[in-house]
Amino acid sequence: MAISESTREQMRQLAARYPHARSALLPMLHLVQSEEGLVSADGIEACADVLGITPAEATAVATFYTMYKRRDVGSHHIGVCINTMCGLLGGDAVYEALAERLGVGHDAPTDDGQFWLERIECQAACTHAPVMTVDWEYIDDVTPSAAVDIIDRLARGEEVRSTRGPAIRDFRATERTLVFPDDGLAAEGTPVDAKMLAGLTVAKERGMSAPGVTSSAQEG
């Protein structure tokens, strides 16, 4: 699909935000995904044209970062953390249950184009391991059965709320938020809970604090 002129104008607006225009390439690629569901060849060409770089340079970035997909992701991206903490606490079992339910393997779409399943090396949410994300929104302390239930509810078109954020929308909507973060949803959910603050709470109770910083000049 050809990139529309309105999308190209948004690309130009993004490029104007940075001292060096090519720094806008990452959000521009997310913008392409928000419009097309993938980073298409036309999207690559449009990014390169706006930034004054070669398509090969844009492609190098798009193929380096795993968040950019060259096939249509579909309605929902499902990410399951299988790194050490999540893996030990059940992340592998969650992934296997979802792979069986969806009938796909790592980094692949379902036949109906509704879901994309991916094993994630880290979701930066070890406190609530095992963790999965739906369109990059957290689902904390997930179990295999709970993960499958979420997929079933999404497939039926039912509302699913993330643990620490808004109700799940879809992949393209989240991609647009990554480009333009002021989506009016920042206040939804509870981003920080008692479990995440447990270490800080204990430290305050015990009067503990981090050691002061000593400059190298003072050490000398």
**Is CATH 3.40.50.300 correct for 76-179?**
no
**What is the topology classification, in CATH, of domain 5-64?**
Arc Repressor Mutant, subunit A (1.10.10)
User: What is the per-residue pLDDT for 195?
Assistant: 87
On the question of pLDDT at 140 being above 60, the answer is yes
How much is the pTM?
Answer: 0.89
Same topology for domains 5-64 and 76-179, yes or no? no
- The sheet with strand 108-109 has its strands ordered as 108-109, 115-120, 76-81, 132-134, 137-139
- Give the start-to-end residue ranges of the domains of the chain: 5-64, 76-179
Confidence label for 189 from pLDDT (cuts 50, 70 and 90):
confident
Confidence label for 192 from pLDDT (cuts 50, 70 and 90):
confident
User: What is the per-residue pLDDT for 78?
Assistant: 98
CA distance 161 to 154: 10
* Token pair in block for residue 214: 């000593």
pLDDT, tens digit, 9 for 90 and up, residues 27-74: 999 999 999 999 999 999 999 999 999 999 999 999 999 999 999 999
* Token pair in block for residue 8: 């190209």
pLDDT, tens digit, 9 for 90 and up, residues 78-130: 999 999 999 999 999 999 999 999 999 999 999 999 999 999 999 999 999 99
Q: What is the DSSP string of 95-109?
A: HHHHHHHHT--TTEE
* Token pair in block for residue 48: 């390169």
